[in-house]
Amino acid sequence: MKSVTLAMGNGGEENNKLIRDVFYGAFGNEVLDKSEDAAVLQLKMKNEKLKISEIAMSTDSFTVSPLFFPGSDIGKLSICGTCNDLAMMGASPKYLTLGMVIEEGFSLDDLQKIVASMKKELEINGAMIVSGDTKVMPKGTIDKIIINTTGVGELMVEGISSNAISKDDVILVSRDIGCHGATIFAAREGIELESELKSDCTSLYPTVKALIEGGVKITALRDATRGGVAAVLNEWAKQSDICIEVEEESIPVSDEVKGICEMLGFEPTMLANEGTFLAALPKSEAQKALKILKEFNANASTLAKVTDSYTQKVVLHSSWGTKRFLESPTGELLPRIC
């Protein structure tokens, strides 16, 4: 392969290979190599009177098409995406930078709508934009608008890591899956549905904060964005050198998402989400955690167990008594999803 393909941005195998071969090869270090949703950094103060501070830091760029869709828009998505990555490390979002690349001729009314969505989501997270940059590109050189957000958050709890999952853990999912991917596809293709299907895009910090304040001991958290639940489970299996076994009937999927998947041949576990996360935690914490999660979404459930049946594999048990490996997504499933 001599050039970049759309599949390299799908959150699956091609994307992981691009990151490993190009970026990790050049920039690899002890922080980056942990492959977490956000980097956890310790700031050492020269002044001995100042407390050592631990922060989380993450960045993301957004190119979703269409810009406005049921349940969200690119503005809300850009704040949720970065703040959610911070929350997945047990951090409270504090400060964000904002970079906007805007196509000449873009509607100022639409830009104001996008900014209003961002402002509302910042308030939910208790965060603020503290620095930014704006570029305008000639018409036709980009597709409408690209947004980058970089966030810094203060750690509420230490030790959350996708490299620390073990057989003592179970894996929970915070709600039904695949709504964002299904919504974007329907909006992009002009499919009119007689349903209330909308993106799950939402800020996850309030939910994570409730888990932490509820005393739940958390091993790992990960929001299932590009590549969906399948990508997260496979990343975890590799990072923690474990086997993850999923009962197909335990996967919460709405009828609307099932319908789109059946119509188009998609796998719900590979569809993107923007307000759904997985939590690995000790078995003894599962019921307490589920009670809290269900206060935010009634579809929260136990998704999988951790075993040593295989090495670095995800196994899906069907309702028919058969089993197969659930692989990471490959190919151009649905580009420009976030």
Who has greater pLDDT, 77 or 41? 77
Confidence check: pLDDT of 153 > 80: yes
pLDDT digits (tens, 9 = 90+) for 236-258: 999 999 999 999 999 999 999 99
What is the pLDDT, as a whole number, of residue 334? 76
24 burial type by CB count under 10 A (0-12 exposed, 13-18 middle, 19+ buried): middle
Which single residue is written with the structure tokens 């998609």?
Answer: 266
Per-residue confidence at 229, pLDDT binned at 50, 70, 90? very high
**CATH of region 6-155, choose from 3.30.1330.10, 1.20.1050.140, 1.20.1250.20, 3.40.50.11540:** 3.30.1330.10
**CB 95, CB 127: distance < 8 Å:** yes
CA distance linking residue 224 with residue 216, whole number of Å: 21
What does the domain layout of the chain look like in residue ranges? 6-155, 169-325
Closest CA to 222 of 86, 78, 93, 314: 86
pLDDT digits (tens, 9 = 90+) for 161-175: 999 999 999 999 999
What is the pLDDT, as a whole number, of residue 48? 60
Write down the mean pLDDT value for the chain.
Answer: 93
Mean pLDDT of 35-64: 81
Per-residue confidence at 51, pLDDT binned at 50, 70, 90? low
What fold does the segment set 169-325 form as a domain?
Phosphoribosyl-aminoimidazole Synthetase; Chain A, domain 2 (3.90.650)
pTM: 0.94
Who has greater pLDDT, 260 or 102? 102
Closest CA to 144 of 99, 188, 189, 104: 104
pLDDT digits (tens, 9 = 90+) for 183-200: 999 898 877 777 789 999
What is the pLDDT, as a whole number, of residue 1? 63
pLDDT digits (tens, 9 = 90+) for 257-280: 999 999 888 899 999 999 999 999
**What DSSP line would sit under 107-151, residue for residue?**
-HHHHHHHHHHHHHHHHHHT-EEEEEEEEEE-TTSSSSEEEEEEE
| Integer CA distances (angstroms), 197 to 92, 228, 306, in order | 30, 17, 32
